[in-house]
Amino acid sequence: MTLKEEQLDIVLSLAQLDISQEEKTQYLTQLQSILNQMTALDQFDLGQIPPFETGSLTSSELREDKVEPSKDLMLGVNAPHWELHCFRVPKII
């Protein structure tokens, strides 16, 4: 696939970017290189590889959930108004 400057101009206008002609040329070259690399991946036959859900072939180890008491972070010491383990704030409405 060949990327044309008109296509790059459309993308730039959608992104509301204004760049110089030198930058356009530079980005066009870089984007074309990326597209060429993606096209090279099309040659691989992936039909024999089964799909998987997790993005990884390894299983993840899950830990058991444990309920633990919360640690005292000394929030009440620095709070201007502290009540029932919560910050007390003035009513706004």
**C-alpha distance from residue 13 to each of 1, 35, 53, 66 (Å):** 21, 20, 37, 52
**What's the rounded Cα separation, in Å, for the pair 43 and 83?**
66
Q: Is the dihedral of CA 41, 44, 47, 51 positive or negative?
A: negative
Tell me the pLDDT tens digit for each residue of 24-33: 999 999 999 9
pLDDT value, residue 3: 87
Mean per-residue pLDDT over the chain, rounded: 85
Residue 54 contacts residue 60 (beta carbons within 8 Å): yes
Tell me the pLDDT tens digit for each residue of 32-86: 999 999 988 888 888 888 877 666 667 777 888 888 887 777 777 777 888 887 8
Residue whose pair of structure tokens reads 């290189």 in the numeric block: 33
The residue extents of the domains of the chain are 5-41
3-state secondary structure of 30: helix
pLDDT value, residue 25: 93
pLDDT value, residue 33: 94
